[in-house]
């Protein structure tokens, strides 16, 4: 490797580390934390188990419907964010809530952050974002998990 390439790679690694891109959670105002994520396999198991407690699932994007999910639509619009807020207001603060979009990797999702910020502002204690690192298509549907 030449000196120019080495310098470029060193600069790139530094920028990635400083920006939080490497783990998606290190930015100071980032509402998404590892503890806020729900593994798809865990949610799918609960949906398949007739005796398991079921969370309330909200589709906050434009992706296909996971089994028993409530369609809100993209919460980047004020109307849908208000609809989501009204739906949440009907629930106890300790109710398990799972939100998902699935349009793209959740770390870049335009809908995940507004939804997480809202559930935190409303003081829900058991709200999770479905961990879809790539997309709903690959990380849920491709795994054969329950769909409507």
Average pLDDT, consecutive stretches of 10 residues, N- to C-terminus, the chain (148 residues): 52 40 41 83 96 96 94 96 98 97 85 93 96 93 96
Confidence (pLDDT) at 72: 97
Does 51 lie in the same domain as 15?
no
pLDDT for residue 1: 60
Q: Are 114 and 82 in contact (CB under 8 A)?
A: no
Q: Kindly state whether residues 75 and 137 are assigned to the same domain.
A: yes
Do residues 59 and 69 make contact, with C-beta atoms less than 8 angstroms apart? Answer: yes
pTM equals: 0.79
Residues 100 and 37 placed together within one structural domain of the fold: yes
Q: 15 CB contacts (<8 Å, ≥6 apart)?
A: none
| Domain-embedded: residue 79 | yes
Confirm if 102 and 114 have CB atoms less than 8 A apart. Answer: no
Distance CA 25, CA 107 (A): 8
Q: Can you give the pLDDT at residue 67?
A: 95
Q: Helices 112-121 & 78-89, crossing angle to 10 degrees?
A: 40
Residue 148 domain-assigned (yes or no): no
């Amino acid at each position: 490797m030449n000196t120019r390439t080495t310098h470029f790679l060193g600069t790139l690694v530094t920028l990635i580390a400083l920006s939080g891109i490497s783990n998606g959670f290190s930015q100071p105002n980032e509402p998404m934390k590892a503890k806020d994520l729900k593994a798809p396999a865990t949610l799918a198991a609960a949906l398949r188990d007739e005796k398991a407690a079921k969370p309330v699932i909200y589709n906050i994007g434009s992706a296909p419907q996971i089994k028993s999910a409530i369609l809100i639509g993209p919460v980047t619009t004020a109307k849908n964010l208000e609809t989501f807020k009204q739906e949440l207001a009907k629930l106890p603060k300790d109710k398990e809530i799972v939100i998902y979009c699935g349009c793209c990797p959740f770390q870049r999702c335009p809908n995940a952050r507004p939804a997480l910020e809202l559930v935190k502002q409303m003081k829900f204690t058991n709200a999770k974002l479905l961990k879809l690192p790539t997309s709903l298509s690959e990380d849920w549907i491709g795994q054969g998990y329950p769909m409507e």
